[in-house]
Amino acid sequence: MLTCAKMSLMDLSSKKNVKNLLFERKIRPKKALGQNFLISRRALCAVTKAAELSSDDIVLEIGPGIGNLTQELAKKAEKVITIEKDKEMIGVLRETLADFNNVELIHGDILKLDPKNLTPSPYKLVANLPYYIVAPVIRKFLESAEVQPPRLMVLMVQKEVAQRICSRPPDMNLLAISVQFYAEPKIISYVPKNAFWPQPKVDSAIIRLRVGGRKCRADSGLFFRIARAGFSHPRKQLLNNLSQGMNISRETAKNWLLKNALRPTQRAETLNLQDWLNLAKSFKIN
């Protein structure tokens, strides 16, 4: 059985309490912002445990909502810097987090904020993300050469998205390749849709990305150019996609693939991360 820190005065994992909290302030969850609040104590504990927190950790949290997960993070970490886009929720958070002097609350859109100005390094990132910003957030914190990536990322995402990120051949995809270039992803547990209020249409998953576990010695720019070309038409053969996408002849593309023990007739979804790294390392412009 999962255990975590002692519950606060108001149990924010209670659906009744959450509804009353918002009703008293005349606030309705905003579907456009993906506001589905976690009302499962078990799931809150699972996220906190997955973050592997210690008393000297700095945590950057995206989308705190009502602050129930923030409370648990703040009880274990040295400091929590939390980013909330919804101005109405900022008022709620000032109340639910009033007892914590190690929480910094920032009102802003994470996709528009500069990560360099948010937190000192090293840090960990924890987030409950709506579908439409999962890929942009991952790119923002992993792909930018100017940003120090977090040591660990723990994300609550849609179940299907988590499964895509953790894909293996013969079901690879560009999102999986992009994430696995930088980090080792693992699904920690699945969270049913009834663990949220309002209840979403699909189940979710807690996924942990252990950043820096990969030692990918390949030029990232070239790597992603090749991967994007390979997946440009997923149902087409690699020979066609790479020839067109990399602007090389079919004969050159064929020899390049054969040199890396890949069949020209293969599709991108059948290649693993090492295959793409090998392609990047062996690519030469004639």
pLDDT in tens, 173-206: 999 999 999 999 999 999 999 999 999 999 999 9
- State the amino acid at position 257 in one-letter form: L
Residue 83 is predicted with a pLDDT of: 97
Q: Is the pLDDT of residue 115 over 50?
A: yes
Q: Do the Cβ atoms of 50 and 70 come closer than 8 Å? A: no
Q: In this structure, is the dihedral angle defined by the CA atoms of residues 217, 220, 221 and 226, taken in order, positive or negative? A: positive
| C-alpha–C-alpha distance, residues 215 and 6, integer Å | 39
Examine the pLDDT at 274 and tell me if it is beyond 50.
yes
- The β-bridge relationship of strands 58-62 and 37-38 is unpaired
Q: For residues 231 and 229, give the distance between their C-alpha atoms in angstroms, rounded to a whole number.
A: 6
**The pLDDT of residue 1:** 35
Percent of the chain with pLDDT over 70: 93
What are the distances in angstroms from CA 35 to CA 12, 131, 196? Answer: 15, 11, 9
pLDDT over 90 (residue 286) = no
The Cα angle at residue 213 between residues 270 and 156, in degrees rounded to 5 = 80
- Alpha-helical (H) ranges within 109-173 are 134-142, 159-165
Task: Say which range, 26-30, 215-219, 266-270, has the weakest mean pLDDT.
Answer: 215-219
Tokens of 139: 């790119």
Neighbours of 131 (CB within 10 A): 14
Q: What is the pLDDT of residue 6?
A: 46
- Going from the N-terminus, what domains does the chain have, and what CATH number goes with each? 15-211 (3.40.50.150), 220-282 (1.10.8.100)
Question: Is the pLDDT confidence value at 117 over 90?
Answer: no
Burial 202-229 (b: 16+ CB within 10 A, else e): ebbbbbbbebeeeebebeeeebbebbeb
Q: What is the pLDDT of residue 190?
A: 98
* Cα end-to-end span (Å), the chain: 60
What pLDDT shows up at residue 26? 94
Q: What is the pTM of this model?
A: 0.90
Per residue in 45-101, pLDDT tens? 999 999 999 999 999 999 999 999 999 999 999 999 999 999 999 999 999 999 999
Q: Answer positive or negative: Cα dihedral of 26, 110, 159, 238.
A: positive
pLDDT in tens, 209-222: 998 755 556 788 89
Q: Which pLDDT value is given to residue 275?
A: 97
Instruction: Please report the pLDDT score of residue 58 as a whole number.
Output: 96
